Structures are given as C-alpha cells and as structure tokens.
Amino acid sequence: MTTLTASPKKRIDSIDILRGIVMIIMALDHTRDFFTRLNYDPTDLTHASTALFLTRFITHYCAATFVFLAGTGAFLYLSRGKTKLDAFKFLLSRGLWLILLELTVIHWGWGFGIFLQVIWVIGLSMVILSLLIWLPIPVITAFGLILIFGHNMLDHVNASAFSATDKSLWTFLHVQGMVHLWGFGNVFLMYPLVPWVGVMAAGYGFGTLYTWDAAKRKKALTILGFSAIVLFIAIRYFNIYGDPSLWIYEGNIHRTILSFIDVQKYPPSLDYLLITLGPGLLFLAWVEGKSNTLTNIFEVYGRVPLFYYILHLYLLHLMSIVAAHITGQPKGVAFGLPGVYLVWLTAVAILYFPCRWYMKYKSGHKHWWLGYL
C-alpha cells in the first residue's frame, strides 16, 4: 500500500494555471469549428497552410492535458481526507453526470448531430477509475502506462469480419466512427475509450508527486517531461511504432517538421501523448511557485473548467448566429484565420467575468452540487 507523505493543499495553483491555459487554447479550435467551413482536415499538409496546421496542432495539447489532470484531480480529492468509498461515489456519479451532459447540454450547445467528444470520454473514464481506485496506486499507474504505450499494437486489427455488435464495441474502444447508441440513434464517436482511460489512470498515479516536497517534485517533473519529448523524437524518427501515420520529407525543413509532429489524436497515439504531455509536465515544473497577474487570470479559467466549457460553446454558437445575420450568410460564416483569432480572443475575454464570479461563488459556498459543475 502506498503511504502519502503529506496532504496537498486544497488547490494546486500550477495545475489550475495549466488547466486554464489549455481551456483557453481549446476555445480556439472550437472557434475555428464555428467560424470556418473547411472541406479538409486542418492538419492535412496536402491542403493546409502552415498557419492553419499550427492553429489546429496547438489545440492538441488540450484534451491530453485535461484528461490527464482529471486523473490527478481524482487522486487529490482522495488525498484530502476522503475515504475510498467517498471517492468511488463521487467519481461514479460525476462520470455518469458528464456522460449525460455530453448527450444533452453540450450537444445542444454545438447545435448539430451528436458527437461523443472529450466530456463523454472523461465521464466514462471516471466511471472506470471509480473501480480502479480500490487497487494499489502502482497497479493503477501501470494499467495506465500499459494502455498508453501498448494500444498502438491494435492499430492493425481488421474489424471488417466483425459482427455489427462487435464493430460497435470495437469503435467504442479504439476507432473513431459511427455507432448506434440506444435511445439516441446513430452518433459519431470522436473519442474512443482506449487509451484515454489509460491517460486518466496515469494522471491518477501522477498525483502522488504532489505529496512530495516542491524541490523533489520539480526535479521529477523536469525529468519526466524531457524524457517524454526525447522518447517522442526517438520513436517518431524511425517510423516503426507509436503512430499509424508516417512522417515524410515535405520538400523543405519547416513543412517536414510539421509532418514529423503531425500525430494522430483519434484515438490518441503514443506519439501524440508523448509530444503533448511531455511539454505539459515541463510547464508544471516551470510554473510552480509563480504568481503574477497573468497566472492569476489563467487560474480563473482553470478553477471552473466545466462551467467554462459549457458557456464557451453557447457563446461561440450565439456569436456565429449573430455574425451570420450581420454578414448575410445564413448557412454559416466563413472567416479567415485573422477573423477566427479575433472572435476567439473576444469570447475568452467575455467569459472571464462569469468564470471569475463562479470561481468566487464556489470558494465561498459548500453546496454539494458545486462539485459537479
């Protein structure tokens, strides 16, 4: 059994700062969804400009970091005097709540189709983690790492001979695609479960670092972060394992670098997770103990992530309707990247005020439902 050497304080500022940054960046990708009409993948280097590719690539850091830190948050919840039964009930109920939100409130915010995205997979991963927490922490961590490092062995599974039921199950587990969800008909599953549940489990084990003293933790974060980046470069270079898509020489250095970092998100490949989580760990090491006006702003978004997530969808949707009315484009506006960035910054600035209000409300009240929003 792992023994905690210390109880972490109620909030870990560095985690809130990082979470806040990725929530802000996430809104950039969703702004692009609402305010452009692309008929190709923005990371498709046969069509995408460098600026468009990087606009999409930078948002890759959001889902990986958010799911990982959700696991860390679960560990911190348990380490604050909660029993495992308390944690089990909370993770199970919150996980089911997130799945319900994905199918209702979040679906309505998008306004088109039902897409099972990051909130769904966080919810389902929490349900599974509610069972895993009864195991020793090293076992939970090992489970997460095995899924992260080993799931690309499943890339070559041929599901064409599977039955319809087996195909749906396989899609839920490891393939982006259309599935039939009872009560909702056909839905498009963007976030297969594996290895996202592994990312959350690894994040849970990672939480133990926040029972260490700051100097020891910063050293461990730095080593882990650099190791992830070096490992990414090494295995990506040889094009043997870690990502189903291979990098190629694109005719010049900078486009070749883009091909090198063009990794698969659905499902997240090993390369994707190394190149996103590695820099995130380095950032946690660097930002620990820092406090200034900018970090305080990031913390506001990071302390109310679900509240922000829901609000930003409805705000962007409303802004797109208004823009379509003003420009006379009833089928949806199509801005260039400068316009997308302007709308993004405007939306983030607007959301600061309700997020700051809700953050203060949460800190001054102890209602049970506050843990679910």
Q: How many residues does this entry show for the chain? A: 373
> What pLDDT, on the 0 to 100 scale, is given for residue 278?
97
Q: Does the pLDDT at position 2 exceed 50?
A: no
Cα separation, 275 vs 280, whole angstroms: 9
Read off the pLDDT of residues 69-88 as tens digits, 9 standing for 90 and up: 999 999 999 888 889 999 99
Cα separation, 373 vs 370, whole angstroms: 6
Q: Which of 8-12, 261-265, 324-328 has the lowest mean pLDDT?
A: 8-12
Q: Does the pLDDT at position 183 exceed 70?
A: no
Read off the pLDDT of residues 251-295 as tens digits, 9 standing for 90 and up: 899 999 999 999 999 999 999 999 999 999 999 999 999 999 999
Read off the pLDDT of residues 240-250 as tens digits, 9 standing for 90 and up: 999 999 999 99
The strand pairing partners of 189, in sequence order, are 116, 177
Cα separation, 170 vs 162, whole angstroms: 9
In the block, tokens 């670092």 appear at 209
pTM of the model: 0.93
The H or E element spanning position 106 is helix 105-110
> Which sign, positive or negative, has the C-alpha torsion 230, 259, 203, 152?
negative
Read off the pLDDT of residues 336-367 as tens digits, 9 standing for 90 and up: 999 999 999 999 999 999 999 999 999 888 88
Confidence band of 334 (pLDDT split at 50, 70, 90): confident
Q: Does the pLDDT at position 29 exceed 50?
A: yes
What pairing do the DSSP bridges indicate for beta strands 115-116 and 185-189?
parallel
183 versus 134: the higher-pLDDT residue is 134
Confidence band of 5 (pLDDT split at 50, 70, 90): very low
The strand pairing partners of 178, in sequence order, are 188
The strand pairing partners of 186, in sequence order, are 180
Q: Does the pLDDT at position 61 exceed 70?
A: yes
> What pLDDT, on the 0 to 100 scale, is given for residue 9?
55
Return the percentage of the chain with pLDDT > 90, whole number: 76
What pairing do the DSSP bridges indicate for beta strands 185-189 and 177-181?
antiparallel
> What pLDDT, on the 0 to 100 scale, is given for residue 4?
44
Cα separation, 195 vs 212, whole angstroms: 27
Q: Could you give the residue ranges of the DSSP H alpha helices within 151-268?
A: 164-174, 193-206, 214-237, 253-261
DSSP code of 369?
G
Q: Does the pLDDT at position 328 exceed 90?
A: no
Q: Does the pLDDT at position 236 exceed 50?
A: yes
Contact assessment for residue 297 and residue 223, using Cβ atoms and an 8 Å cutoff: no
Read off the pLDDT of residues 118-172 as tens digits, 9 standing for 90 and up: 999 999 999 999 999 999 999 999 999 999 999 999 888 887 778 877 888 888 8
Cα separation, 33 vs 263, whole angstroms: 20
> What pLDDT, on the 0 to 100 scale, is given for residue 10?
67
Instruction: Find the distance separating the first CA and the last CA of the chain, reported in whole Å.
Output: 32
How many other C-beta atoms lie within 10 A of the C-beta of residue 66? 22
Q: What is the mean pLDDT of residues 201-210?
A: 97
